A = this chain, B = another copy of it.
């Protein structure tokens, strides 16, 4: 079994005793304070090594009122985007000595409230939040009530917190404009449908960007090709199959999310169409298989390293109080990654 099953963990007291110095000196060495003799430092460090001492984090947190922990509430890590985002955030915060508490909101307001409440009592040093429910009054209030630094990720929440927003409008406009430039007019936009879809910022802005792409190019928006469809059934497949084999079929498809994308690809295959010759495809989001697929799929990608970087700058800035003033708002622009599926390249 393990080494020292129930032996009380070694405390700074034990270290001080073994080193033959006072508790305070031991603490100073541990916290790399200036005012310590080399000799003292040495004795203490030897004792630490010998005892395998590690400071008690709970005691430090209590004392310092800082836990070196960031609470992350994301919609669902099962979604590749959030998983990658989490990874990027981990890379950003780990070198600074922070660990991340992760909780999935799952678009469930009650659950989100619980999580926010747990974060609150656990004295997180900061929070990174992407609640599913931007318009839920209770969630809004709970976010607003947080008294630690908060960064809201890609949600419109009027709660007076810092936020980092993806510019879905420009991303989508770029995609549409590119397709229009390739001669496409009948472009379909396929989005995942959830109960409160219309209130979701990412969805809302993508639709806006889509329309925007046409109007700025002086074209009418093909409203009939904006498809909202539940991501977890075959509904998308059937809808798209019908659309593709019907009259005035789309010649290009912009699909959001891995599941929806797969359904679209299946529909294209089932209709015997070829990409990009018969129909062009752009993926919103850049899953791993996009660049492996045959042909490689053009996609609208968000730079998650950059996102994490900026998010960390803001949050750490607030935590360290280098950053003052009212709520900041940082934008990250998605980029269009040209690959064969959109007929360019």
Contact = CB atoms under 8 A, between A and B. Distances in A.
A288 B65 CA distance: 43
Nearest to A291: B234
Nearest to A148: B2
B90 A83 contact: no
A121 interface: yes
A interface, over-half SS:
mixed
Interface stretch (A40-48, A130-138, A262-270): A262-270
Contacts of A121: 54-57
Contacts of A83: 77-78, 80, 83
Instruction: Quickly give the copy total for this chain.
Output: 2
A54 B147 contact: no
A292 B103 contact: no
Contacts of A78: 80, 83-84, 87
B5 A56 contact: no
Contact of A57 (B76, B102, B123, B145): B123
A190 B76 CA distance: 30
Interface residues of A, number: 64
Contacts of A283: none
Given A62-B62, A289-B262, A122 B101 contact: no
Contacts of A55: 121
A146 interface: yes
Interface string A269-289: 110000000000000000011
A151 to B, nearest CB: 13
Nearest to A78: B83
Interface string A24-65: 000000000000000000000000000010111111011001
Contacts of A59: 62
A62 B54 contact: no
A101 B147 contact: no
15 contacts: A1-B326, A52-B145, A56-B121, A57-B122, A62-B62, A77-B83, A80-B83, A86-B102, A94-B103, A100-B103, A237-B292, A258-B289, A262-B289, A263-B292, A270-B294
